[in-house]
Structure 1
Amino acid sequence: MQRKRIVIEGIVQGVGFRPFVYQLALRSGVDGWVLNDSSGVTVEVEGEGASLASFVAALQSELPPLASISRCEIIHIPPRGERGFSIRSSAGDGPKTAQIAPDSWVCPDCLAELSDPLDRRYRYPFINCTNCGPRYTIVTGIPYDRPNTTMAPFPMCPACSAEYRDPASRRFHAQPNACPVCGPRLQLKNGAGDGIAGEPLAESVALLQGGAILAVKGLGGYHLVVDAANDRAVSELRRRKARDEKPFALMARSLEDAARLADFDPLEEWLLTGSERPIVLLRKKPGHTLSPLIAPGNGYFGIMLPYTPLHFLLLEEFPALVMTSANLSDEPIASGDGEAETRLKGIADAYLSHDREIFTGTDDSIARILAGRALLLRRSRGYVPRGIALAAPQVQVLALGAEIKSAVCFTRGDRAFLSQHIGDLKNPEVFASFERTIAHLGTILELQPAIVAHDLHPDYYSSRYAEGLGGVRLVAVQHHHAHLVSCLAENGFGGTAIGVIFDGIGYGADGTLWGGEFLVGGADGYRRAGHFVPLAMPGGDAATAEPLRMAVSALQHAYGADLPSLPVLDGISPRDLKIYLQMIEKGINAPLTSSCGRLFDAVAALVGVRLRVSYEGQAALELEMAIGDTVDNGIYPSPLGGAGDRILVDPAPLIRGIVDDLMAGVAVSRISARFHNTLAAVISAVCLLIRQESGLSCVALSGGVFQNRYLTEKTISRLEKGEFTVLTHSLVPPNDGGIALGQAVVAGRSAS
């Protein structure tokens, strides 16, 4: 006989882990007990060697759907002659490090009950169990027990209470457990906030069929919902939401319905059907029957599958619904009932809500398959607050992230915890959400870090917030250094690497605007090994909104005062053109930037794809879309230069090559392909030069530009042919939504 104590950390509380262990012990013929403690779950088991080996193997491989193990320590202890197996009461001593599970889609067992007329939860919109349902969005405090969730106002009826106490039940200690007798209920109101008579779900379906805009309360907030096949409804939603062209997300009724709308491969299907249920970017299928206004100028739909019982019930009559975050542009998602009725007044015709509070508003996550692996473009519902393993333990740090795609990060030991997507901190409501997120995540993780990391930019709202904190040490981290370390940290790489960091703009260590960077470094520091020759941004931020200004800047850089005659210049009045050129020549309100993102803008405008944008990254996205199915391996001249110890990439020859092609009537699809190919070739050439000097063969790709599938895959292919090891993002966004992780690791290293 042998006895083992097994200490397990990870997401193992509130996910059916103890009943799983109980059933596994009975199956394996071992004795002992299991309990929740402050760090996770502790198990003691006793039995013959073969039985124990079978138990331990299954314990780590046959996990409940929502469980994940981050640490499993097995200690041999003396046998005690114990008989039977029990679930013991929780032990709360010691520092609380147990993790809370993310929200999850409704599981197949619950779906079967939902559609079974003989089940007591038949068509109940809030059905859940230990394997599925709300978690993070309903947690108000720790430990994760029902009184510390927004289910506290709903006392369980005798039938639900019996399930909750039964170790053999799928609902054993399922904190959101409920039924029609004792749980939350739907309610439907009109735009004025008055109740609508009739059964809420049936009336909601009728409203959608009539072309209405419906605000629907989900797991992490409200969605604005319309029939995806109704042009008029989609157009009206765009008008009311003040969202001219940015794509809307879709929710398809089933995988089969999604396949009628978009093409996807097995990897994309795996991502689409995972328990996280993100929005997945999938290539549009020709001949689809949906409104062309859903994703204009884009070859992809953002599609997700239903993830709550309410979604499944609502979609019974529709193959797909537009399901976009309920907010005006740049505002946080509406999650409170009163808040929704106030903020969505004039947008929603009716509100389908319920009386279970959403404590933490959380947007849908967005993902795509890139280079054969999943890539999160927005990390939120389904993934937060899941921890990210670090290469080594470090001190506790709070990192405040960036300004536009804000997300914060806490570290504890060898784990980092990125928050949900928060948004643009310049919006007062978003900034208030930023403050609430820091307080809430710090509470449920029981962390009060003495080190706070923030962006180097002194005027970021996150930097100003840091300056207002007392009793903490502040660490300012350069924007692109944070991008580099974010990619290294996600991949568990603790050394020094070459960082190719391409994005919009970030505050550089020299006070200028960076964005097309080749760095050498790691968590301990970095040096700027190369970058693009800067271009002027006539009008400053106005040049980000109007790519035509960047086109003028690029042409002036390539040709001087003698600009070629191009259609893009015909769209600018002589007066405005003169002002732009004077700004550039005199350096008045025309900051210089090495940004690769602004170079994309310039090229998009030059070829006529996009002169002005209505959302961030639109010009670059549409330039990538312009390639279509074109196969063209050509590249433009792009010789490398140098200044001191830096490699300089001058875009002038590239711009002149594009202009020559335009004059020769070359198709825009080919010009776009050649531009992307040129960037991939430049990256490879610069990395080869850096390797010759440094001996480094590991390259990390980060920054929002590497959301571009064509460029990223071309770049990886070239680098791997050059025998580089290439690190890319997956569970951490390459855009600014991921830099808090890099900030946290840099600040943590500075304290060691």
Structure 2
Amino acid sequence: MSRERVRVRVEGIVQGVGFRPFVHELASRYGIDGFVGNDADGVFAEAEGDPSTLKSFVSDLGLCAPPLAVVEKVTYEAATPLGDRGFQIVASVPGDSRSALVSPDTATCADCLREMSDPSDRRHGYAFTNCTNCGPRYTITEDVPYDRPNTTMRGFALCVACAKEYADPADRRFHAQPVCCPSCGPSLRFVLADGSRVAGDPVEAAVSMLRDGGIVAVKGLGGYHLAVLAHDAAAVARLRERKHRAAKPFAVLVGDLDAARALVAVDAAEAAVLTGPRRPIVLLRRLPGAAIADEVAPGARELGVLLPYTPLHRLLADRLAAPAVLTSGNVSDEPIEHDDDGAMTRLSKIADAFLTHDRPIHARADDSVVRVFRGAELVLRRSRGYAPAPLRSHRAFPRPVLACGPELKATFCLARGSRAFVSPHIGDLENYATLRAYEQTVAHYRRLFGIEPEVVAHDLHPEYLSTKFAVELAESEGLELVAVQHHHAHVAACLADNGEDGPVIGVAFDGLGQGPDGTFWGGEVLVADLARYQRVAHLSPVPMPGGAAAIREPWRMAAAHLDAAYDGSPPDLPLRERYADRWDAVTALSRSGLASPLTSSAGRLFDAVAALTGLRGTARYEGEAAILLERAADPGELGRYPFPILDGDPLVMSCPDLVRAVADDVRAGTPPPLVSARFHNTLAYAVVDAAALVRARTGIATAALSGGVFQNVLLLEKTTAALEAARFRVLRHTRVPPNDGGLSLGQAHIATTQTT
């Protein structure tokens, strides 16, 4: 029988996911001879056999890949038969050019959990059990190819038993780089805040301290968490005080899906996300009487719930047998601590003790946060479990691009070819520690994926630290610099998220973004594609008295809106009485134009209405007033307020009538749930009315919804349903957040389209 040989290359997430063992097993099954290996671009192989068998073998490389693999492309070419006998896994080949992908960290698989729970297994109760189908990946990877010497596991020499598993093609730990066991792998320790080590079982010591009301810092995959028992109100309050986190909800760790269902309502789609390999925090509707202290999520209708995703979290949840707060190990507004020395220094002021270990974390990664909307993920924070998996782009990036993202909820995007690598969530670039984390992650991504940008994109705002970073980088490396308007980037991100070019009617509602006219935009309707935009409608602008102070104190936005709606003579309202000592000064500041930039922000309009209804006059965390307004809404209320759209170019969605109607309801004693519902209904239908006018002028019948305001699923549902009823096709986010965390993807596409 004639024999042929092919040279094969497989691209995608094919390192660290058991792909070489899979190829070896597949070759053995088909009787194929040859070899397979890793290099800096992915997986390479040569295969020899009869022609029909070779064809099936190559086809199955893409069709039957391991569960964690993402095969993007399989290419092959004919080669000269060499008469090989047998099939080998060969040593990895380093290279200068890099296109190999690194897998995200993945939750512990069912096989590893069974071993952990089996008293006869040598990994019984072991906190670092993993295999080719699960465990740490991105957070331990220092370089590619993804081999043990290029990870933080290189300091742990394999014992005889683990080495045998690692070398056995039939074993699921064959070439699993983090493979280890109690004899040769990382180990736990329990350390008090003063640095003294506690003898005995570290997990049991941590559980005992938590039950006694203590705060324990727990070293996870991408950084440290802070944990307390979720039903212990005093412990939660103490954690809030020490962490300087007054009211923002905490996430809750539960042992399994049944334990989650004791606290929150979980439908089938939500259960699939909650239990899937990414294991994000999922925002779910809280059940009445849920056994959680009110201090965990003050006044919230939802809880952020997550299931264990490492063996250590599994051990902790099992022995606690109770829900536990699990929040990022940092001081508010700083990046999550991932370095052991830094954690001991900074978190010892918060935690009473540390449940830690000796496997270094190379790359920090916060927990991801999602909601489920209409059966699909609505990602709010994209990090662990998602990054650094690339987003496949329908549009190629012929020149490598670095998009530097926003100031708040910062991410960046490195893009080349058909791949866009959006970084994990980094945080708000408002302090030196977060900026350093941002710079370090940019450098790590550039090295890991071998992308040297030729184009650098940034936001229009000159004072954003991400903008300053972009300008300095472009100057130092001689790169082309492209400024991208904030809301155009939002709409472009939604287009890219959906694999579309546009044009669309883009609705970008958020807190703030600088417009080219020098005002702060945020309630925008744009006709946009991936290259250009036109502002065709917006909310009527009002001053922000005190600038950033108006974000922290929503009552200031209410004062500004009332002043505009009533021509300087608003009626007496409870809010005005509450802030009587500062009201006149703030309205005078608003009229003066000093330290009071104009804004068309939808987010600031939410703030104003929340303050008017008495829900929140001063925000304790970003977006709190708007969140409370969403939570308060009566879902059965269908009423609306007047919200005229004034003709012009652009159209103006005029706020004064709306504000006066809200004020009338408040003066009449209308309960906040009705006011909130009517406001949401009004805004949703105002979007439809504006979009219909734009469609009549342009013929465009597709709307794209983006911006942080569309994290509000009540508004998102009402707006989507109303647009669909008006025969619009609606695009929304699924792969990247609608908030500023997705902005860098839009910047990358715009910069590419404008420079090629």
In the alignment, which residue of structure 2 is the partner of 1:330?
333
What SS is found at the alignment partner of 1:65?
coil
* 2:571 is aligned with 1:564: yes
Q: Choose 223-232 or 90-99, whichever is displaced more.
A: 90-99
Task: Indicate the residue corresponding to 1:427 in structure 2.
Answer: 431
Query: 2:93 touches 2:145 (CA, 8 Å); kept in 1?
Result: no
Of 502, 505, 508, the residue aligned with 2:515 is: 508
CA deviation profile, 1:214-253 (whole Å, cap 9, x unmatched): 0010101110001111111111111111111100011111
Match of 1:294 in 2: 296
Counterpart of 2:647, as a letter, is G
Deviates more, 1:720-729 or 1:536-545: 720-729
Matched, 1:586 2:596: no
Q: Contact 1:371/1:709 (CA < 8 Å) preserved in 2?
A: no
Find 1:695's aligned residue among 695, 699, 703.
Answer: 699
Shift of 1:62: 3.2
In the alignment, which of 366, 370, 383 is matched to residue 369 of structure 2? Answer: 366
Q: Does 1:126 align with 2:148?
A: no
Secondary structure of the 1:539 match is: coil
Say which is worse superposed, 691-700 or 726-735, in terms of deviation: 691-700
Structure-2 residue corresponding to 1:552: 559
Residues 1:3 and 1:632: Cα distance change in structure 2 (over 3 Å): farther
Q: TM-score, normalised by structure 1?
A: 0.97
The unaligned stretches of length 5 or more in structure 1 are none
Q: 1:105 aligns with which of 104, 107, 110?
A: 107
Identical positions, percent: 50
Q: Secondary structure at the match of 1:315?
A: helix
Matches within 5 A, 1:169-180: 169-180=171-182
Q: What is the TM-score when the length of structure 2 is the normalising length?
A: 0.96
Q: Quote the residue 2:626 is aligned against.
A: 620
SS at 2:133 equivalent: coil
Q: Determine the structure 1 residue equivalent to 2:652.
A: 648
After TM superposition, give the deviation of residue 548 of structure 1 in Å: 0.8
* 1:512-531 → structure 2 map (5 Å cutoff): 512-531=519-538
Q: Deviations over 1:373-425 (max 9, x none)?
A: 10110011111110001122211011111111111110011100011111111
Distance in 2 between residues matched to 1:410 and 1:569, nearest whole Å: 48
CA separation in 1, counterparts of 2:631 and 2:331? 26
**Aligned match of 1:639 in 639, 644, 654?**
644
Partners of 1:292 and 1:198 lie apart in 2 by: 34
**TM-aligned CA deviation for residue 345 of structure 1:** 2.4
Measure, in 1, the Cα distance between the counterparts of 2:521 and 2:139.
37
For 2:97, give the aligned amino acid: P
In 2, distance between residues paired with 1:460 and 1:689? 35
CA distance in 2, matches of 1:730, 1:224: 29
Question: Counterpart amino acid of 1:591?
Answer: P
Deviations 1:83-137 (A, max 9, x none): 5433333344572201000111111111111111111111111111111111111
| Shift, 1:58, TM fit | 4.1
Equivalent in the alignment of 2:97: 95
CA pair 86-147 structure 1, distance change in 2 beyond 3 A? closer
Question: How many Å separate the matches in 2 of 1:364 and 1:299?
Answer: 21
Candidates 536, 539, 542, aligned match of 1:532: 539
Q: Is the 8 A contact 2:229 2:322 kept in 1?
A: no
Shift of 1:74: 5.1
1:713 match: 717
Indicate which of 214, 217, 225 corresponds to 2:216: 214
Deviation at 1:26, TM superposition (A): 3.0
The residue aligned with 1:16 is 18
Quick check: 1:335–1:361 contact (8 Å CA) kept in 2?
yes
Cα distance in 2 between the residues matched to 1:261 and 1:170: 36
Query: d(CA) in 2 for partners of 1:353 and 1:416?
Result: 34
Match in the other structure for 1:116: 118
Number of the residue aligned with 1:345: 348
1:436 matches 2:434:
no
Q: In the alignment, what sits opposite 2:157?
A: 155
**Preserved contact between residue 264 and residue 287 of structure 2 (Cα < 8 Å):** yes
Unaligned runs of 5+ residues in structure 2 are none
State the AA in 2 paired with 1:59.
L
Q: Could you tell me how far 1:21 is from its partner in structure 2? A: 1.9
Distance in structure 2 (CA, Å) of the matches to 1:713 and 1:49? 54
Equivalenced residue count is: 749
In the aligned structure 1, how far is the partner of 2:410 from the partner of 2:147? 30
Shift of 1:52: 5.2
Map 1:460-475 → 2, pairs under 5 A: 460-469=464-473, 470=476, 471-475=478-482
Q: SS of 2:200's equivalent?
A: coil
In 1, distance between residues paired with 2:45 and 2:214?
Answer: 54
Residue 454 of structure 2 corresponds to 450
- Which of 606, 611, 620 lines up with 1:605 in the alignment? 611
Q: Note if contact 1:227-1:318 (Cα within 8 Å) is conserved in structure 2.
A: no
Q: Distance in 2 between matches of 1:106 and 1:61?
A: 24
Q: Report the CA distance between 1:540 and its aligned residue.
A: 1.0
2:390 to 384, 387, 392: 387
Q: Aligned to 1:389, what secondary structure does the other structure show?
A: strand
Shift of 1:6: 4.2
- Equivalents in 1 of 2:63, 2:278: separation in Å? 20
The equivalences for 1:138-287 within 5 A come to 138-287=140-289
Q: CA deviation at 1:444?
A: 0.3
Q: 1:640 to 1:324 in 2, by over 3 A?
A: same
User: 2:219 & 2:96 partners in 1: Cα distance?
Assistant: 38
Q: CA deviation at 1:694?
A: 1.4
Indicate the SS of the match to 1:198: coil
In the alignment, is the contact (CA less than 8 A) between 1:399 and 1:741 conserved in 2? Answer: yes
Offset at residue 468 of structure 1 (A) = 1.7
Is the contact between residue 21 and residue 175 of structure 2 (CA under 8 Å) also seen in structure 1? no
Equivalent residues of 2:17, 2:69 under 8 A apart: yes
**Structure 2 counterpart SS, 1:369:** strand
**In structure 1, how many angstroms separate the alpha carbons of the residues matched to 2:63 and 2:622?**
43
Residue number in structure 2 paired with 1:731: 735
CA distance in 2, matches of 1:86, 1:148: 22
Query: How many angstroms apart in 2 are the aligned matches of 1:117 and 1:501?
Result: 56
Q: Which amino acid aligns with 2:491?
A: L
**Contact 1:407–1:738 under 8 Å retained in 2:** yes
What code does the residue aligned with 2:530 have? A
Alpha-carbon separation, structure 2, partners of 1:695 and 1:57: 44
Q: 658, 662, 671: which is aligned to 1:658?
A: 662
Distance 1:210 1:189 in 2: 16
- Cα distance in 2 between the residues matched to 1:592 and 1:688: 27
What amino acid is the match of 1:742?
Answer: G
| CA positional deviation for 1:649 | 0.4
Relative to structure 2, which stretch is displaced further, 711-720 or 45-54?
Answer: 45-54
